[in-house]
Amino acid sequence: MPARPVETTVARLSTYLSTQVRRLVLSRAGRSGIDLTQLDRVPDSLSWPLRRDGVAPGERLGQLREREPVAKLTSFLGMNVWVVTGQAEVREVLADTTSYSNDIRPFVGRSGSTTDGDIGGLGFTDPPEHTRLRKLLTPEFTMRRLERLRPRIGDIVAGQLDEMERRGASGEPVDLVPSFAFPVPFLVICDLLGLPDEDRDTFRQLGSARFDVTTGGTGVFGAVSGSRSFLLEATRRQRSEPGPGLIGQIIREHGDEINDFDLAGLADGVFTGGLETSASMLALGTAVLLDHRDDYRAVADSPEVVERTVEELLRFLSVVQIAFPRFPKRDLEVAGRLVRKGDVVICHLPGANRDGRLGEALDDFDAGRPAVPHLAFGHGFHRCVGAELARMELRAAFPALARRFPDLTVADERLDYREMSIVFGVQSLPVHLRAGAALR
């Protein structure tokens, strides 16, 4: 299905950051009723840190980090935008529970529920509301609860490998994104939420524009109200008949503490937080491993190798490029720089994960290196809720792929990386499943 113009515009303008900054500016300018997706591009002075050179952040970013790990990026219509690229400095900002707000609503003239329009989810919510909502979610992500998903994850991975076999039966290249990288996390999250089969088909269709990474969907922090209303409907239905997954469990255990809107908002946050991120890790991770064939082969056999390879991929790729923006609630010093109330602070995760103060040659992928502490899942009280689930998926998917298709190769070396997005990714990854397939 061709993307509708507005979606295309959003995809191009992309990203949460650009949209939100524009909203902020607009709200300051006191305008309303404007279709924000029709507005001009964000200036390069603001967006350049999101651009990559291949999978690596551009050289300019590394230079900036060396010079100024906390730097004023630009002043955009009266608002100072800071970018933090040093790992210690990013930790300092993200660990600070009192100096910043994540709440974007005051800037855009809204308030209230986390499901207010397209603004919402834990990432944009401050304590005490954040603490209350996150407490409802975290029990669903304990290792004990996640263990229940492990066999299902194995089945889902195996099912998608079969699907790849089917699609590649003719010997033609198979696109790994729609056949593997996207459906694995999609189906896992459907299981996690406890969406019945008939619901997930509808949801997949409804969400296709939003999540179809092959057509450059609106991105992880974007929003399409259709899928949210769908989750609201699913939540309402489960209120009378709680299902087996996260939605049903929260209703059973804490039903009187949360309304349908907030619960659907949490479910939606799990979807937006967990789908495109994991899909990008699977696609880009495969591309990196195929470029390092020894590592690709090695993940087939040893769980220990799998663990450290996945951590290195998470660090090296850092697919979530920036943490949720932090808005200083008062003037404060960050690593000697004066940041003022009214500014916005952007923590750059790939930058922080390649900080030379942590180790040697961090611009290279090296699965054998001693573990480097990384911030691919963020840090502090907004740190990714789904980190262990994501690890579980990646640790299941890469070895299964390497065992099933030991001779997998990339069919087209010119990969179509996303130009500028909060979640870095690749639009498609055509692969040959078997040795010699390219010659047939």
Q: How near is the Cβ of 92 to ligand HEM at its closest, in Å?
A: 13
| Contact residue for ligand HEM among 64, 209, 284, 323 (CB under 6 A) | 323
Q: Where does residue 370 fall: left (phi above 0), alpha (psi -120 to 50 degrees), or beta otherwise?
A: beta
What is the H or E stretch that residue 262 is in?
Answer: helix 260-291
Q: How many residues can be counted in the chain? A: 440
Residue partners of 389: CB distance under 8 A and separation at least 6:
141, 146, 149, 188, 192, 274
What is the H or E stretch that residue 308 is in?
Answer: helix 303-317
Number of Cβ within a 10 Å radius of residue 114: 23
Cβ closest to ligand HEM, residue 42 vs residue 94 = 94
Q: Which stretch binds ligand HEM (CB under 6 A): 73-81, 199-207, 251-259, 377-385?
A: 377-385
The residue of the chain with the least Cβ separation from ligand HEM equals 386
Q: How near is the Cβ of 387 to ligand HEM at its closest, in Å?
A: 6
| Contact residue for ligand HEM among 122, 174, 184, 234 (CB under 6 A) | 122
Q: Which stretch binds ligand HEM (CB under 6 A): 1-9, 73-81, 153-161, 383-391?
A: 383-391
244 to 283: interface string for ligand HEM, x by CB under 6 A: -------------------------xx--xx--xx--x--
Residue partners of 430: CB distance under 8 A and separation at least 6:
173, 174, 175, 176, 410, 411, 412
Q: Which stretch binds ligand HEM (CB under 6 A): 82-90, 207-215, 380-388, 410-418?
A: 380-388
Distance CA 64, CA 224 (A): 36
* 425 binding ligand HEM? (CB under 6 A): no
By DSSP bridging, strand 79-84 and strand 70-76 are antiparallel
Q: How near is the Cβ of 271 to ligand HEM at its closest, in Å?
A: 8
| Contact residue for ligand HEM among 177, 264, 319, 339 (CB under 6 A) | 319
| Contact residue for ligand HEM among 203, 324, 365, 398 (CB under 6 A) | 324
Cβ closest to ligand HEM, residue 173 vs residue 285 = 285
Return the closest-CA partner of residue 325 out of 89, 17, 90, 116.
17
Distance CA 7, CA 131 (A): 33
Distance CA 67, CA 337 (A): 13
Return the closest-CA partner of residue 212 out of 247, 171, 178.
178
Q: Which stretch binds ligand HEM (CB under 6 A): 23-31, 166-174, 302-310, 384-392?
A: 384-392
Q: How near is the Cβ of 173 to ligand HEM at its closest, in Å?
A: 25
Identify residues 162-221 at the interface with ligand HEM (CB under 6 A): 189
* 94 binding ligand HEM? (CB under 6 A): yes
Identify the three-state secondary structure at position 244: coil
Q: Which tokens sit at 113?
A: 């529920």
# binding residues, ligand HEM (CB under 6 A): 28
* 422 binding ligand HEM? (CB under 6 A): no
Residues that bind ligand HEM (CB under 6 A): 94, 122-123, 134, 189, 269-270, 273-274, 277-278, 281, 319-320, 323-324, 349, 376-378, 380, 382-386, 389-390
